Structure 1
Amino acid sequence: MIDRKRAWAVVRKDWIEVSRNKQVVAPLVVIPLLFAAVIPAAVILGGNSGILASTITGLQSFLDNLPSRVVPSGYTAEQTVVYAVIVYFMAPFFLIIPVMIATITASSSFVGEKERRTLEGLLYTPLSNRELVLAKVLGSLIPSVLLTWAAFVVYTLIVNVLGSPVMGGVFFPTWTWAVIVVVLVPSVGFLATCLIVAVSGRSTTMQGAQGSALLLVFPIIALVVSQAAGLMLFDVTIALIAAVVLVAIDIAAFRFIVARFDRERIITRL
């Protein structure tokens, strides 16, 4: 049984520590804004410009391999580019946002405690292993999900304000994006955070934890970026299947990490 008050106290403590670190806070703002504002604005304003396709890595390949069925009939060349990029090309990048944010925040979960010399006291608290690991995961997962959702709101506003004159009206979001944002974002973020927290417990420095974390989450990034390369397209069916699989993996990963969590080993390495 998890004591929510004890776990939540650790979560709040971690948020306070993160908010005091400007080197951590800055990327948390810049990364979502890049995907939510800068790229979509460039896509809509650039239209079907060849410069745009050559600037964004993988965009030309994506457009060349785009099945005709995924774009509504009757669109002009410019409308086709805008719709394909906004609705399909950008989708996997919103799964990368929680992963990147988790890499920044979760990598300091245990190793940050070591550097601040507060880990020993934390490990001797009455919190169970499950409560402690869950608190560390939620401390990074909640900000990563909330920031991604905020980025999605900004993305939706920019896309519809700038894109409506080009597309002839509001065209975003779609049902696929609803599944991605509501279900896949938390699922991907939870898995990435669990893996990074596990690495953090075994690392001796924050830089080492972040380096190892990037290697661990690379398969997740490679999977979602495969759409940008034209290897697959997210639709409602694929998004729902991915959500079910990820939830099952999330549960298994969390249980495995809790089972492998060894306070004595961590204390001896302080």
Structure 2
Amino acid sequence: MKKLFYKLFSKAERALMMKDLSALCRRRLILTLLIALPLVFAVAFPLLFLFVSAMVSPESSGVEQFKNLLDNIPQGTDERAQMFYIFTAFISPMLFMLIPLLSAIITASYTFAGERAHGTMETLLFAPFSVRRFLQVKAASSVLASGLVTAVSFILFFVATAIGDTVLKAPFFFDLSWFVLVFLLSPAITVLGVTFAAMLTVKARSTAESIQISGYIVLPILLIFIGQIMGLYRLNSIALLVLTAIIVGIDLCLFNFGFRRFTAEKLLTRPPEKPRKEKTNVY
């Protein structure tokens, strides 16, 4: 892995990536958001649902409603175990997908829009490689940072959910669908979030504005998983593979061809400030 990393990136490119990663760690707000993502979505939600599943009465668990929509809820377990299984199999994937997507948006927004907001883009463009390669290297550093957050999140989620499965004697959550979700779909969504945020570099005036605009990409991902919860379809391993292939195709188009329209002039030119509305006194 280390040899491949050294083969893909030159010494100057590796220095740029290390500079971006260290800047993310020094930025307190960005670091706080990246730490909060796994704590909330990978630890707090599973433990909260474990508590709810353990404390709620079987008669009011609402499992029967899901049984009418889903045909693969394991039998031979009590209502509490089935309720926790519903969370890990049908709700957790939606929550977990927010981690690579949001972390990618946060890191890429700071890596790209933050450079121009802090006035350091001009200096970096003197690096000994093309503008397109410059953007690709910065995107790679954001993908690396987001991938690290996702990996830590899955470890925490694995531990928290395994505890719930043991306590409630529920079926173990990790199956082929989760394998596709974690090792194939998550990296594809990470690249999508990074490239989408990078494409907004010429339009965003600050990191906060870039994060705000990039957040619109979260809605389609949520709608895909919400459709499953509503019983419109079942996102099994095959469906997740198809979704991964579609997102990979979008990633390749954006990553390879989307950066071609960027020039040094576009990166250095800041978008105009929004005109402020003047208050008029009405007598």
Q: C-alpha deviations, 1:75-116, integer Å up to 9, x for none?
A: 222121111111221112111111111222211222211222
Cα shift at 1:39: 1.1
**Aligned partner letter, 1:5:** K
Partner Cα distance (1:13, 1:193) in 2: 17
Instruction: Give the aligned partner of residue 110 of structure 2.
Output: 108
Partner Cα distance (1:82, 1:4) in 2: 48
Cα shift at 1:2: 6.5
Partner Cα distance (2:175, 2:54) in 1: 22
**Aligned partner letter, 1:263:** A
Partner Cα distance (2:106, 2:207) in 1: 10
Partner Cα distance (2:178, 2:145) in 1: 20
Instruction: Give the aligned partner of residue 233 of structure 2.
Output: 232
Instruction: Give the aligned partner of residue 208 of structure 1.
Output: 209
**Aligned partner letter, 1:118:** T
For the aligned residue pairs, the C-alpha RMSD in angstroms reads: 2.7
Partner Cα distance (2:176, 2:253) in 1: 28
The question of whether the paired residues in 2 share the 8 Å contact of 1:110 and 1:201 is answered with no
The question of whether the paired residues in 1 share the 8 Å contact of 2:176 and 2:237 is answered with yes
**Aligned partner letter, 1:116:** H
List gaps (5 residues or longer) in structure 2.
1-6, 272-283
Instruction: Give the aligned partner of residue 6 of structure 1.
Output: 12
Q: Give the match's secondary structure for 2:228.
A: coil
Instruction: Give the aligned partner of residue 91 of structure 2.
Output: 89
The question of whether the paired residues in 2 share the 8 Å contact of 1:95 and 1:224 is answered with no
The question of whether the paired residues in 2 share the 8 Å contact of 1:11 and 1:136 is answered with yes
**Aligned partner letter, 1:234:** L
Partner Cα distance (1:256, 1:16) in 2: 28
Alignment of 1:154-233 (within 5 A): 154-167=156-169, 171-233=172-234
**Aligned partner letter, 2:88:** I
Q: Pick closer, same or farther for the CA change 1:228–1:129 going to 2, 3 Å.
A: farther
Q: Pick closer, same or farther for the CA change 1:218–1:263 going to 2, 3 Å.
A: farther
Q: Give the match's secondary structure for 1:110.
A: helix
The question of whether the paired residues in 1 share the 8 Å contact of 2:113 and 2:204 is answered with yes
Instruction: Give the aligned partner of residue 122 of structure 1.
Output: 124
Percentage of matched positions with identical amino acids: 24
**Aligned partner letter, 2:124:** L
The question of whether the paired residues in 2 share the 8 Å contact of 1:19 and 1:25 is answered with yes
Normalising by structure 2, report the TM-score.
0.83
Instruction: Give the aligned partner of residue 266 of structure 2.
Output: 265
The question of whether the paired residues in 1 share the 8 Å contact of 2:63 and 2:83 is answered with no
Normalising by structure 1, report the TM-score.
0.86
Partner Cα distance (1:196, 1:4) in 2: 24
Cα shift at 1:226: 3.6
Is 2:21 aligned against 1:21? no
List gaps (5 residues or longer) in structure 1.
none
Alignment of 1:125-140 (within 5 A): 125-140=127-142
Cα shift at 1:234: 2.2
Q: Pick closer, same or farther for the CA change 1:198–1:83 going to 2, 3 Å.
A: same
Task: Return 34-43 or 60-69, whichever deviates more.
Answer: 60-69
Q: C-alpha deviations, 1:196-243, integer Å up to 9, x for none?
A: 011123322222212211124432343344434444332111111111
Instruction: Give the aligned partner of residue 281 of structure 2.
Output: none
Q: C-alpha deviations, 1:150-196, integer Å up to 9, x for none?
A: 1111111121223213126x613111101100010000010111000
The question of whether the paired residues in 2 share the 8 Å contact of 1:93 and 1:225 is answered with no
Q: Give the match's secondary structure for 1:234.
A: coil
The question of whether the paired residues in 1 share the 8 Å contact of 2:104 and 2:190 is answered with yes
Partner Cα distance (2:205, 2:63) in 1: 41
Instruction: Give the aligned partner of residue 152 of structure 1.
Output: 154
**Aligned partner letter, 1:7:** E
Cα shift at 1:13: 0.8
Instruction: Give the aligned partner of residue 33 of structure 1.
Output: 39
Q: Which has the larger radius of gyration?
A: 2
Q: Give the match's secondary structure for 2:29.
A: helix
